[in-house]
């Protein structure tokens, strides 16, 4: 009787392990970094603005536990300005290269292996603008002292950091749910995001 009981529970453990391995292997298909297509941003005062979002899914260790996810974005903004804050008379243009990121966790919806729920940590949200990524056309910088240019660059970086925060939060939080996830040829992914059909390309190799 003792031997039969041991064999029975041993069999249950083996089946559970095999089930977990099968389930994890199926859900692991999205682990790694995926880059979305560029999306336009509605940024006040910008003539043109867009962002490219990357989702980096961590390894799932248990089907009942969420895994880490990191969302990041590269942002390009262009603004044509009528008039110069330094009293120049000609129109000028500035462009800004920025990044944004936020972290959180993701889990598969109960009973599903192609729908995930992403929960983001609002305290981890950040927008970064490197002063080197703030570029002015020659109408502004020609003949300008370096101290004045540094001051103008810093002011513009601070301004765009504030203006980009709202639109980027909106973009990131649109990924709260991803439906009908499908992997194509191992390096392309399609999914429904915020009622839109989106496509992604894998960056690197799975698990990197």
Q: Mean pLDDT across the stretch 143-156?
A: 73
Contact between 53 and 75 (Cβ < 8 Å): no
**Residue with the larger pLDDT of the pair 197 and 91:** 197
200: how many CB neighbours lie within 10 A of its CB? 23
Tell me what percent of the chain is helix, strand and coil, each rounded to the nearest 5.
Answer: 30, 40, 25
Reported confidence tier of residue 106, pLDDT bands at 50, 70, 90 = very high
159: how many CB neighbours lie within 10 A of its CB? 15
Q: Mean pLDDT across the stretch 94-117?
A: 92
% of the chain at pLDDT higher than 70: 73
**Residue with the larger pLDDT of the pair 8 and 97:** 97
Which pLDDT belongs to residue 14? 42
3-state secondary structure of 145: coil
Which pLDDT belongs to residue 34? 98
**Average pLDDT taken over every residue of the chain:** 82
Whole-number Å distance between alpha carbons of 165 and 157: 12
Whole-number Å distance between alpha carbons of 55 and 169: 14
In 3D, which of 171, 163, 129 has the Cα closest to residue 44?
163
Give yes or no for residue 189 having a pLDDT over 80.
Answer: yes
**E-state strands within the chain:** 32-36, 39-40, 48-57, 67-81, 92-108, 116-120, 126-136, 177-184, 188-193, 196-203
Give yes or no for residue 59 having a pLDDT over 60.
Answer: yes
Q: Mean pLDDT across the stretch 121-138?
A: 89
**Residue with the larger pLDDT of the pair 19 and 79:** 79
- Joined together, the tokens standing for residue 153 give 């660059």
Whole-number Å distance between alpha carbons of 69 and 140: 41
Whole-number Å distance between alpha carbons of 68 and 120: 10
Give yes or no for residue 8 having a pLDDT over 90.
Answer: no
Reported confidence tier of residue 65, pLDDT bands at 50, 70, 90 = confident
Which pLDDT belongs to residue 3? 46
Give yes or no for residue 143 having a pLDDT over 60.
Answer: no
């Amino acid at each position: 009787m003792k031997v039969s009981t041991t064999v029975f529970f041993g069999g249950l453990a083996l089946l559970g392990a095999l089930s977990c391995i099968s389930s994890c292997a199926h859900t692991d298909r999205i682990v790694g970094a995926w880059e979305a297509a560029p999306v336009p941003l509605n940024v006040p005062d910008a003539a043109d603005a867009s962002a490219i979002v990357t989702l980096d899914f961590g390894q799932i260790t248990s089907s009942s536990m969420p895994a880490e996810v990191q969302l990041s974005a590269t942002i390009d903004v262009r603004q044509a300005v009528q008039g110069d804050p330094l009293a120049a008379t000609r129109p000028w243009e500035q462009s800004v290269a920025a990044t944004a990121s936020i972290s959180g966790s993701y889990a598969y919806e109960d009973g599903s292996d192609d729908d995930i729920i992403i929960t983001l940590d609002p305290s981890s949200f950040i927008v970064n603008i490197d002063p080197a990524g703030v570029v002015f056309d020659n109408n502004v910088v020609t003949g300008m002292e370096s101290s004045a240019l540094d001051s103008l660059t810093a002011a513009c970086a601070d301004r765009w950091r504030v203006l980009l925060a709202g639109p980027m939060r909106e973009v990131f939080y649109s990924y709260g749910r991803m439906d009908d996830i499908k992997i194509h040829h191992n390096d392309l992914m399609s999914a429904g995001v915020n009622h839109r059909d989106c496509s992604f390309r894998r960056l690197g190799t799975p698990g990197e």
